[in-house]
Amino acid sequence: QVQLQESGPGLVKPSGTLSLTCAVSGDSISSPYWWSWVRQPPGKGLEWIGEIYHSGSTNYNPSLKSRVTISVDNSNNQFSLKLNSVTAADTAVYYCARGGYSSGCLDYWGQGTLVTVSS
Amino acid sequence: ETTLTQSPAFMSATPGDKVSISCKASQDIDDDMNWFQQKPGEAPVFLIQEATTLVPGIPPRFSGSGYGTDFTLTINNIQSEDAAYYFCLQHDDFPLTFGQGTKVEI
């Protein structure tokens, strides 16, 4: 059973950098899947942030591309998200998932972690 | 970017009912549509892939239909455990986009 678990600070100050890690179990991050980040602001719909392959190749949503970096740590079977210059609009539940645009689906998801941007 | 218009935003059902949720794409996405179920505090669950294919392990009361721009998730004989938030996802066009979701109350 593939499981994903997000971790990171639940509170980030405005203009700071949001950093989250997704630990993967039940599958190797080096398997032939892409790995994605998705977010959902309170009361709003879901937004795909971007994806990474174990080789390090990435694709980002154009709406966030200038502020996002997704990286992979093959030795620890995890991948990470950094979002800089955050504002209150970046307050959301952040999910990691297996798959993405290049894989054609998001078949396994973490349960999500709430990140609040506030001073 | 493809916009997905999902309706209704909320619906109330009685156990045993048949319910349908619609997802309309702003452009032709072939059958590149997935459906998910999410319960509070839990990870989303993958229900339907490629518009009509039931993901292994998902009860057969769930079904999907549609092609091109109009898609439907149907739950036959709805059960109390089906109370959840349902959303659609298209993966035909970059970037991936989602419907706004439907909250189903039983």
Flag if B55 and A107 touch (Cβ within 8 Å). Answer: yes
Is A75 exposed, middle or buried (CB count within 10 Å of its CB: 0-12, 13-18, 19+)? Answer: exposed
Kindly report the average pLDDT of chain A as a whole number.
Answer: 95
Is residue B28 predicted with pLDDT exceeding 90? yes
For A89-111, letters b (16+ CB in 10 Å) and e give: ebbbbbbbbbbbbbbbbbbbbbb
Flag if B95 and A62 touch (Cβ within 8 Å). Answer: yes
Tokens representing A82 are 């950094």
Predicted local confidence at residue A42, as pLDDT: 93
**pLDDT (tens digit, 9 = 90+) per residue, A22-75?**
999 999 999 999 999 999 999 899 999 999 999 999 999 999 999 999 999 999
For A16-38, letters b (16+ CB in 10 Å) and e give: bebbbbbbbeebebeeebbbbbb
Of B32, B46, B101, the CB nearest to A45: B101
Is residue A101 predicted with pLDDT exceeding 90? no
Q: Give the Å distances, CA to CA, from B78 to A11, B44, B61, B64, B85.
A: 39, 19, 8, 15, 14
The SS3 assignment for A88 reads helix
Predicted local confidence at residue A69, as pLDDT: 98
Tokens representing B65 are 């239909």
Of A44, A104, A111, the CB nearest to B91: A104
Predicted local confidence at residue B82, as pLDDT: 97
Question: Which residues does chain A have within 8 Å of residue B97's beta carbon, measured at their own beta carbons?
Answer: 48
Tokens representing A97 are 């998932």
**pLDDT (tens digit, 9 = 90+) per residue, B71-101?**
999 999 999 999 999 999 999 999 999 999 9
Question: Which residues does chain A have within 8 Å of residue B64's beta carbon, measured at their own beta carbons?
Answer: none
Which of B55, B28, B39, B26 is closest to B87 using CA atoms? B39
Tokens representing B68 are 């091109």
Predicted local confidence at residue A105, as pLDDT: 87
Rounded Cα distance between B93 and B90, Å, is: 7
Is residue A104 predicted with pLDDT exceeding 90? no
Flag if A107 and B46 touch (Cβ within 8 Å). Answer: yes
Whether residue B4 contacts residue B70, with contact meaning beta carbons closer than 8 Å, is answered with: no
Residues from B in contact with A at Cβ < 8 Å:
32, 34, 41-44, 46, 49, 55, 87, 89, 91, 94-101
Is residue A102 predicted with pLDDT exceeding 90? no
Is residue A8 predicted with pLDDT exceeding 90? yes
| Segment B43-63 mean pLDDT | 96
Flag if B98 and A106 touch (Cβ within 8 Å). Answer: no
DSSP state of B96: P
Question: Which amino acid is residue A103, in one-letter code?
Answer: S
Predicted local confidence at residue A27, as pLDDT: 94
Question: Which residues does chain B have within 8 Å of residue A35's beta carbon, measured at their own beta carbons?
Answer: none
Rounded Cα distance between A9 and B94, Å, is: 30
Question: Which residues does chain A have within 8 Å of residue B37's beta carbon, measured at their own beta carbons?
Answer: none
Is residue A106 predicted with pLDDT exceeding 90? yes
Is residue B41 predicted with pLDDT exceeding 90? no
Is residue B48 predicted with pLDDT exceeding 90? yes
Whether residue B3 contacts residue B58, with contact meaning beta carbons closer than 8 Å, is answered with: no
Task: Give me the total of CB pairs closer than 8 Å, taking one residue from chain A and one from chain B.
Answer: 54
Half-sphere exposure of residue A51: CA atoms within 13 angstroms, side-chain side = 21
Rounded Cα distance between B90 and B2, Å, is: 8
Kindly report the average pLDDT of chain B as a whole number.
Answer: 96
